[in-house]
């Protein structure tokens, strides 16, 4: 990676590069922008540029580009640099191993069961993570010109953790920069925000995202990329995740097939549809997360995991009814999200009028809300499927 390979964010990158050039790096940045637009990615590149062994005497802003070859760049990229660390919000999914606790060979004490954490809905930055961070930041740097800690989802720090962090954030030891990233800056303590230099990240414009993805994934059809870009609403990272996982594309296609079937389905078909939705949520989770962790999390807290990924499933369904709404209102096919399915959509448009489409979108939204209210997932999914048929 390098700055040049980050899609969009030109103005933002200029600001950051300028800071590198002049050497005026604040002790803390707050990167604000929607999730998956490239905030963390940019922070990693910034860390590399600040420590790159070959980038020692830049003359212009355009020179600010990490080499990606030197050991500093490579170690940061791999996440094994001693002066670089990413802290992410995590959810405890319980002690996974069923093995009996045995004495630790080193200390002789009974070893604690190792807690396993994953990133999912409701995850937070825990006070123990912040304490470790404070301790680590109190040490002198090892080999870096500038040590960097990236804290993603900074708004998930609870109040105790945030307060514990304030002092270190305000006055870290020399040559240390924190980069906090957040999608909802209003959920951060004002005392945190006021200690950071805020840098805004905007959704990547569709045209930029499309060109970027087309050149990067030549094997995927332009139409499919078009619909993925439209679906991503500027969250380029999300689009990339979809493209990197063929399973994900398959799930989307299965879901859209379901939508087509639902148009003329009977009740039995609908109940099957509900099952398919839950099943899709599970496949989605497995496809979009690291295999080993995903399976463990699924085993440990299946319901919670499915609720997390069901949100994405509903978003995909919503694009379908949005497209139908667009067609039924004679707005033309230019703005379609599911461009690759334009024909099917046109066929169905006659059977869905604007009212029905709106109703469908409302049902989807209601289900979104129900996910957070402990509704039985399977029942809610079946109910949804029943309501989506044209009756």
Please report whether residue 159 would count as binding another protein according to CB under 8 A: no
Q: Is residue 23 at the binding interface for another protein, with CB under 8 A as the rule?
A: no
Q: Which stretch binds another protein (CB under 8 A): 141-149, 182-190, 205-213, 271-279?
A: 141-149
Residue 190: CB minimum distance to another protein, A: 21
Is 109 among the residues that bind another protein (CB under 8 A)? no
Neighbours of 138 (CB within 10 A): 11
**Residues whose CB falls within 8 Å of the CB of residue 229, separated by 6 or more in sequence, listed in order:** 206, 209, 210, 213, 239
Comparing CB distances to another protein, the nearer of 96 and 260 is 96
Check binding of 79 to another protein (CB under 8 A).
Answer: yes
Q: Half-sphere exposure of 133 toward its Cβ, with a 13 Å CA cutoff? A: 31
Choose which of 4, 57, 80, 369 interacts with another protein (CB under 8 A): 80
* Residue 111 three-state SS: coil
Judge contact between 196 and 166, C-beta under 8 A.
no
Residue 171-210 contact track with another protein, rule CB under 8 A, x = bound: --xx------------------------------------
Cα–Cα distances (Å) from 50 to 84, 287, 382, in that order, read 11, 34, 53
Question: How many other β-carbons are positioned within 10 Å of the β-carbon of residue 54?
Answer: 13
From 46-54, 71-79, 254-262, 278-286, give the range in contact with another protein by CB under 8 A: 71-79
Nearest approach in angstroms of CB 75 to another protein is: 8
Question: Is residue 164 at the binding interface for another protein, with CB under 8 A as the rule?
Answer: yes
CB closer to another protein out of 22 and 128: 128
Is 264 a binding residue for another protein by CB under 8 A? The answer is no
Q: How many chain residues interact with another protein (CB under 8 A)?
A: 24
Q: Nearest-CA neighbor of 304 among 318, 285, 287, 288?
A: 285
Helix, coil or strand: residue 140:
coil
Q: Give the residue, chosen from 62, 132, 187, 303, that forms a contact with another protein under the rule CB under 8 A.
A: 132
Say what angle helices 206-216 and 222-232 make with each other, to 10 degrees: 140
Burial of 121: CB neighbours in 10 Å, binned 0-12, 13-18, 19+: middle
Q: Tell me the residue ranges of DSSP E strands in 195-271.
A: 197-200
CB of 106 to another protein, least distance (A): 5
Residues in CB range of 79: below 8 A, 6 or more apart = 86
Is 142 among the residues that bind another protein (CB under 8 A)? yes
Residues engaged in binding another protein (CB under 8 A): 75, 78-80, 82, 85-86, 105-106, 131-132, 134-136, 138-143, 164, 167, 173-174
């Amino acid at each position: 990676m390098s700055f040049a390979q980050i899609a969009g964010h030109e103005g933002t990158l200029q600001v950051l590069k300028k800071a590198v050039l002049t050497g005026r790096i604040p002790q803390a940045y707050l990167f604000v922008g929607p999730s998956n637009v490239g905030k963390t990615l940019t922070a990693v590149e910034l860390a590399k540029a600040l420590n790159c062994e070959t980038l020692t005497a830049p003359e212009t802003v355009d020179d600010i580009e990490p080499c990606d070859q030197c050991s500093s760049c490579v170690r940061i990229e791999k996440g094994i640099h001693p002066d670089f660390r990413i802290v992410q919000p995590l959810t405890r999914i319980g002690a996974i191993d069923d093995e009996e606790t045995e004495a630790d060979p080193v200390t002789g004490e009974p070893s604690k069961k190792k807690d396993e954490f994953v990133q999912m809905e409701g995850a937070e930055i825990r006070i123990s993570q912040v304490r470790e961070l404070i301790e680590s930041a109190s040490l002198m740097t090892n080999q870096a010109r500038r040590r960097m800690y990236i804290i993603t989802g900074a708004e998930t720090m609870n109040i105790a953790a945030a307060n514990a962090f304030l002092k270190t954030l305000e006055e870290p030891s020399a040559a240390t920069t924190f980069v906090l990233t957040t999608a909802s800056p209003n959920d951060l303590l004002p005392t945190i925000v006021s200690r950071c230099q805020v840098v805004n990240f905007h959704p990547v414009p569709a045209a930029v995202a499309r060109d970027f993805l087309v050149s990067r994934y030549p094997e995927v059809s332009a139409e499919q990329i078009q619909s993925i870009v439209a679906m991503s609403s500027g969250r380029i990272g999300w689009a990339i995740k979809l493209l990197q996982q063929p399973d994900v594309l398959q799930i989307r296609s299965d879901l859209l097939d379901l939508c087509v079937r639902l148009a003329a389905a009977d009740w039995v078909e609908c109940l099957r549809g509900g099952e398919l939705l839950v099943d899709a949520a599970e496949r989605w989770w497995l496809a979009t997360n690291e295999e080993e962790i995903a399976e463990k999390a699924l085993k440990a807290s299946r319901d919670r995991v499915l609720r997390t990924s069901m949100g994405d499933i509903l978003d995909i369904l919503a694009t379908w009814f949005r497209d139908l709404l667009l067609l039924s209102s004679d707005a033309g096919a230019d703005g379609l999200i599911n461009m690759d399915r334009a024909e099917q959509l046109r066929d169905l448009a006659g059977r869905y009028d604007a009212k029905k489409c709106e109703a469908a979108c409302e049902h989807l939204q209601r289900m979104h809300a129900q996910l957070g209210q402990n509704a039985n997932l399977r029942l809610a999914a079946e109910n949804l499927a029943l309501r989506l048929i044209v009756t």
